[in-house]
Chain A
Amino acid sequence: MPDRVVFTPAAVALVRSLKPAHGPLIFHLSGGCCEGSAPMCLRRSDFRPGPQDVLLGEVEGCPFYVGAAQYDYWAPYQVVVDVTEGGGDSFSIEAADGVRFIALSQLLTGAEFAETCSGGRLG
């Protein structure tokens, strides 16, 4: 079954550099308004996922959640997390370091999509 969320090598390196400084981390892609199309990286203790959040996968030991409201629209895609420059004003932890996680969407092939459907929702 294909991974629903993958991190690019640059994103993995960034997570590895953030963990010693901030401890266990959690990712949340709300899909809501404003900054909702970018994943938020927060300390695990700072965010409690609720019944409207779907666990998409785990990366470097950090759970990755997405909001349920638009989950069905994302179902045919794999979320690819990359890093871009220019942190900006954000609640996400890495923004203070002048970088930002972004979520790109990779279309799953027909066979891959069928596999994820039969696997059902995680979490």
Chain B
Amino acid sequence: MGAQCSKGQLDKILNYIDIGKKEGAKCMAGGERAHLGGALENGFYLKPTVFVGHNKMRIFQEEIFGPVLSVTTFKTMEEAIEIGNDTIYGLGAGVWARDGAVAYRVGRAIQAGRVWTNCYHIYPAHAAFGGYKQSGFGRETHKMILDHYQQTKNLLVCYSPNALGFFSAQDGGRGRRVPAPEGPQLRQGRPRRPPPFLHRRTRRKPCPIASSSRPPPSRSSGR
């Protein structure tokens, strides 16, 4: 196994190994620096380490960023899901199951952005990758994240050569020239004769199931 990237990182990992032992976790493998001798003797090498404990230990909850694996046990699928979700992080998870129903349910119940199922740590192109909870925001390696780098522009264009009204084009946006209403205006400011297309749009058709108690709409209503 290669060396740690810096002395500081080596010290951090050794500190977590120490914390694990203080917390009562059982060290099954490694747990100390690796002395490779010769020219590599002062290198930042660590023995791969495996602890057995429970999920409330710091070595389970915190990111060690070193070759330290913390292992615990579970009795039921529900307990496994509960343990798996009892963390502030949620970037990657792994599920190993021969039973398809188990693989289906656990994968969907785990709160993580990537659930490797019967595989681990592969990163194929266009598989969206990112975290739940405190593991981050957004996704990488998928076109969905292009949305975050762009903003929608709406071009709302009128191609009519005519003058426009403020609330709607006087020609309905269809390019037809409409004559101004003639004659004196009626009370309430409504034109005597509305333009033909407006008239068509607002004339009410008689209701096919009109009841005898309801009078038909009158033409002088001015609409």
Residues of A within 8 A of B (CB): 31-34, 36-38, 69-70, 73-74, 77, 84-88, 100, 102-105, 107
In the docked arrangement, what's the CA distance between A77 and B9, Å? 20
Interface centre among A37, A70, A74 (most CB of B within 10 A): A37
| CB neighbours of B134 from chain A (8 A) | 32-33, 69
Q: Are A36 and B63 in contact (CB under 8 A)?
A: yes
In the docked arrangement, what's the CA distance between A15 and B147, Å? 44
In the docked arrangement, what's the CA distance between A84 and B6, Å? 10
In the docked arrangement, what's the CA distance between A60 and B16, Å? 27
8 contacts between A and B (CB under 8 A): A33-B134, A37-B16, A37-B65, A84-B8, A88-B8, A100-B7, A104-B18, A107-B22
In the docked arrangement, what's the CA distance between A103 and B6, Å? 15
Give the size of the chain B interface in residues (CB under 8 angstroms): 23
Closest residue to B5 on the A side, CB-wise? A88
Q: Are B62 and A31 in contact (CB under 8 A)?
A: yes
Q: With A86-B6, A88-B8 given, name 7 new contacts (CB 8 A).
A: A33-B89, A38-B8, A69-B88, A77-B19, A102-B11, A105-B15, A105-B22
In the docked arrangement, what's the CA distance between A32 and B64, Å? 10
Distance in angstroms from B131 CB to nearest chain A CB is 9
